[in-house]
Structure 1
Amino acid sequence: MITLSALDYLFIIIFFSMTLGIGIWVSKKSGANSSEFFLSGRNMPWWLLGVSMVATTFSTDTPNLVTDIVRTHGVSGNWSWWAFLLTGLLTVFIYAKLWRKSNVNTDLEFYELRYGGKPAAFLRKFRAIYLGVIFNIITMSAVTLAAIKIGGIMLDLQPWETVVYAGAITVAFSALGGFKGVVYTDFILFFVAMGGAIGAAYYLVNLPEVGGVTALISNDNVISKLDIIPDLQNTEALITLLIIPLAVQWWSSWYPGAEPGGGGYIAQRMLAAKDENHAMGATFFFNIMHYALRPWPWILVALASLVIFPDLKSIQEAFPNIATNKLGHDLAYSAMLTKLPSGLLGLVLASLIAAYMSTISTQLNWGSSYIVYDFYKQQINPNASEKHLVAVGRLSTVILMVFSALLALCLQNALQLFELLLVFGAGTGLIFILRWFWWRINAWSEISAMFASGVISILLKLTPLGAILFATDTGLFPSYVQYPFVVVITTLIWLAVTFLTQPEHERVLITFYDKIQPGGPGWKQIKHKTQLKDSNTTSNVPSGILAMILGCLLIYSIMFATGYWIYGKTLQASIISIVALVSGLLLIKIWKKIKTNIL
């Protein structure tokens, strides 16, 4: 247990006061109607939404997850989530403007715009509960699990104490302030969280036991973990950590915050933007911060932890009060933070609280929007007044928090949950990408993909079938084949269902095309029957894909260059920095063209 000074408490009290104050300040306007409560009147600027996206994905479990990955697989293990940059930039340059143009209240409302009849209504209702409640509670429980571990190591708090203290304040300002309160507080939370992460990394790397960056990267426990690209000689690591994420995972898997084609709380922020260009700007700012700059403070702390706590035994010896079922490599991040001095400790604790509150408040508001718009209003009370819908939103916010906290008390490891969520969404991503540009996809395509992916994942994870097929050393196939296996089977199933079922009613398809104007050859059979049949509307997809490639080159180059500058490899860092500059200039040129086409 660490002892907090008066200065530490001052930082934390000021932070709590500001966040609660904002929630109370905007509560009256946020409660005016459901659009204000969930989308802030659709008038948000790109920079505020972009900062909110970054703050939301800070989370308390993210540095723990990165630490677990680095300690287990090395820096290159982060490609399991770095690969999602591709789908992030696909969202920026192709899907952001489509979402904003749809003008729906939630991304689930899209189902009854794109599809029709009872299958579309079922899909919207089911996913409102599946994503807004079940999936959302699981995601929030992982974040709360990280808070429990931080509270246990740094403040010697019991799990229930952390849940009560952290959850009560978060749910209070979330229920009061709605989406506007979330976004406004995110702006403060971002700078607090970023300052805390950078300050902690600088201090901990320069501890006498670590000896600074030069000593760190030459330490025997660290050398094998430094590679940004997996060892090309290690076939299994190369396939698992790089090839599968880049070749398959980014487009095939649904994961919160990295949905192919956009979705979830990212879609919520795009829908709240002033216009299509603001939606694009917000998502691009998020991606460049999320992937290029933010990971390195966490990575440095994870590497330093290998010097001070080289294995789980050393963590357990240093913190004997930690329950055995909560012991894991992800604890190393919190363990390192106990070595911070007074003042900086308070700032970092405030930053961790900020990360927790930002993520949970977003998840609560987003999940509540599904419950209100896509379930309650559709199925229970279609004639509910705006004030009544806001009241339901606030009540569902509290209920979601309670259930996620209870689940968090039963969990052990964030990385396990991350891997499980990836497999559960395997194979569904391609539909989310294609449904905007191919008229033949129908509601049954999505329903079949959703259930196929879930059932196959359960069979592989919870029955002997998984061990028979993919167990290490004894399985019929290498373990790294499991994810592509789920993707292939799921894709074959939904494609078969698509062609075996009737397409959507022509009237639904025509209405969708007239509203969204997606363009492209996938709508050739429908366009000639629409109001736009004589227009020369061309698809922005080719320019968007080129911008996506340049954007990936830019962001990965910044990420690599940052790492090599830190490692002291100046030649590689200089070359990659030049690549980043050139790709950035080319991207600006393409972006202007895309923006002109939108206007």
Structure 2
Amino acid sequence: MKTLQFGDYMVFAFYFVVVATYGWWVYQRKKNVNATSNDYFLAEGSLTWWAIGTSLIASNISAEQFIGMSGSGFKMGLAISTYEWMAALTLVIVAVFFIPVYLKNKIYTMPQFLHQRYNGTVAMIMAVFWLFLYIVVNLLSILYLGAIAIHGIAPEFSIGICIILLAVFSVIIALGGMKVIGYTDVIQVFFLILGGLVASYIALNLVSNPNGHSSVGGMFSGLKQITVQASDHFHMIFEKDNHNYVDLPGLSVLIGGMWITNLNYWGCNQYITQRALGADLKTARSGILFAAFLKLLMPVIVVIPGIAAYVLYQRGMFHTADAAGMLTHSGITDVNKAYPSLLNLLPIGMKGLAFAALTAAIVASLAGKVNSIATIFTLDIYKKAINPEASEKKLVNLGKISVAVAMVLGVILAYVLGEALMGEGKQGFNYIQEYTGFFSPGILAMFLLGFFWKKATSNAALFATVGGFLLSVVFKFLPRFADLSFLTPYGFYAKNYANNGAYEIPFFDRMGFVFIISVVGMYIISMIENSKGLRVNALEVDTKMFKVTPGFAIGSVLICAILTVLYTVFW
């Protein structure tokens, strides 16, 4: 059934009413007439560890996971889970080493860190960059992929209408500020995980018994069948001859570019760190550790359904040429439709629950994203460069206006560019990761040296950010102008079958090259300027800051043990 039925709408309506009512209750209960900008944007001192942890997951898991990552699971298999599982370990590192530096130095935004550590020029350049990235890459992709998913499940709503409805729902939540976002995210994650697990359960049962009879035994039978019938989809580390090697180049996912992606995303990203910056260190660390455990669960929700959809597709279940099918009018298998096509096979009520989970993921992520956009624009651009004397009330009001304006821009971009960038046959998740990766190596180099090396200078930071981006562009297009075939045996040069088999340097490896060059360049520039007596604004860093509680240490060891088992079993 390729449309929502009355029972599905009732389940979804229940979800909507619960989130809206709880959000309104939180807003009224914690409303402060004289709220400061820190209170509105950061919910300073108001979020508990469980609210921080669930908000991190709700903000992270969105259409790019449910649609993009599930589609990548359909195409390349369990290996795409490395983003989720390596993120769990990354969160532990961020909690131990990054968050204490931010909190000790009273840093609330990423541009503020750059201003405090380097100078206003670096901070302003990066503030503008982050606004551009969040709107052009993140809002655009989340809105478009989310709309594709909802349209695939409920084709009575056009893609344009779906984009608008998602935007409006998200803005309503975001206007309440970080308190409302943080606490409604708890409800969003509940529906996200419950609905996702139900979809996975039904999908595996469909693999086991296409007639739709569900049982726990059927689920385990389905899991066994997909490991046999799609055995090539259960390898975490690709060999060089794998068609997907250019996207996940072998050991780079363990010792190379994946670390750059994750450390930049989880440790240097306003959108993510904002959840923890309003809390004390113990609460922040506990929330981040909780999020790390939830990340271990995510592949079960978003990747396994994609692999199950692949097996069902091989059996001919999705060979339809309509808008809700995976075989499009041009005959291309559209991996972005794997998850919504799967949901169309769910029974009434269960489909509504899975639909609510998908909507929860999209809306929570959008609300968090526009809140971060508003935070950066209001506190780091408007207050610093336009109106330093602005009152707290004016800053809060401007933040609300910024939320609406950012979402309008996102809607326009999603409507105009979404199809061209993430249309049929293209992996939306890889689009997001690759184009974010043009900037992340330089940013991470600038942050790490800014944290832990007191001699790093502002000109060195500019080299890393601007030069890092330019180097990323050069490495992207270099194979078109130079013969790099000598790199092929080492895995640094591979065919991109999504680009007509053209040879490219895998983007994980490009990030690794750019990161190393950025660090070396920063070191050389800083040493030259230090030799001339240049004064540097070092942060307050004390090794005692990195000491953790016994409970946190035990949790971290447990995560490492689970990851070791997973990679050993699915190597």
Name the TM-score class by shorter chain. Answer: 0.7 to 0.9
2:10 counterpart of 1:10? yes
Asked if 2 retains the 8 angstrom alpha-carbon contact of 1:196 and 1:351, the reply is yes
**Match of residue 528 from structure 2:** 500
1:249 to 243, 257, 268: 257
How high is the TM-score relative to the length of structure 1? 0.79
2:130 counterpart of 1:131? yes
Shift of 1:144: 1.2
Q: Which amino acid aligns with 1:419?
A: E
Deviation per CA, 1:351-389: give whole Å up to 9, x if none.
111111110100111111000000000011111111111
Return the alpha-carbon distance in structure 1 between the equivalents of residues 507 and 372 of structure 2. Answer: 35
2:285 to 280, 285, 301: 280
Q: Which amino acid aligns with 1:7?
A: G
Change over 3 Å in CA distance of 1:489–1:466 after alignment to 2 = farther
Shift of 1:443: 2.0
2:102 counterpart of 1:96? no
Shift of 1:553: 5.4
**Match of residue 202 from structure 2:** 203
Return the alpha-carbon distance in structure 2 between the equivalents of residues 202 and 355 of structure 1. Answer: 19
1:66 to 64, 69, 80: 69
Percent of pairs with identical residues: 22
2:444 counterpart of 1:429? yes
2:224 counterpart of 1:217? yes
**Match of residue 298 from structure 2:** 294
Q: State how 1:201-350 maps to structure 2 within 5 Å.
A: 201-207=200-206, 208-209=209-210, 212-219=219-226, 221-230=229-238, 237=245, 240-253=248-261, 257-259=265-267, 262-273=268-279, 275-290=280-295, 292-310=296-314, 314=318, 317=321, 319=323, 328-350=334-356
Deviation per CA, 1:271-294: give whole Å up to 9, x if none.
111x1111111111111211x222
Shift of 1:441: 1.1
1:388 to 394, 398, 401: 394
Shift of 1:559: 5.3
Return the alpha-carbon distance in structure 2 between the equivalents of residues 235 and 161 of structure 1. Answer: 36
Return the alpha-carbon distance in structure 1 between the equivalents of residues 178 and 520 of structure 2. Answer: 39
Shift of 1:446: 2.0
1:111 to 111, 114, 120: 114
Return the alpha-carbon distance in structure 2 between the equivalents of residues 405 and 312 of structure 1. Answer: 35
1:368 to 369, 374, 396: 374
Return the alpha-carbon distance in structure 1 between the equivalents of residues 544 and 352 of structure 2. Answer: 52
Shift of 1:80: 4.7
**Match of residue 576 from structure 1:** none
**Match of residue 425 from structure 2:** none
1:408 to 397, 408, 414: 414
Decide which moves more: 368-377 or 461-470. 461-470
Shift of 1:3: 3.2
Q: State how 1:479-494 maps to structure 2 within 5 Å.
A: 481-494=509-522
Decide which moves more: 434-443 or 126-135. 126-135
Gaps of 5+ in 2: 213-217, 423-427, 485-492, 496-500
Aligned length: 533
Return the alpha-carbon distance in structure 1 between the equivalents of residues 517 and 536 of structure 2. Answer: 32
Return the alpha-carbon distance in structure 2 between the equivalents of residues 315 and 416 of structure 1. Answer: 25
Asked if 2 retains the 8 angstrom alpha-carbon contact of 1:253 and 1:427, the reply is no
**Match of residue 146 from structure 2:** 147
User: Secondary structure in 1 aligned to 2:230?
Assistant: helix
**Match of residue 434 from structure 2:** 419
Return the alpha-carbon distance in structure 1 between the equivalents of residues 308 and 317 of structure 2. Answer: 17
1:352 to 353, 358, 361: 358
Asked if 2 retains the 8 angstrom alpha-carbon contact of 1:30 and 1:40, the reply is no
Change over 3 Å in CA distance of 1:72–1:108 after alignment to 2 = same
Asked if 2 retains the 8 angstrom alpha-carbon contact of 1:71 and 1:303, the reply is yes
**Match of residue 168 from structure 1:** 168
**Match of residue 578 from structure 1:** none
1:57 to 35, 41, 60: 60
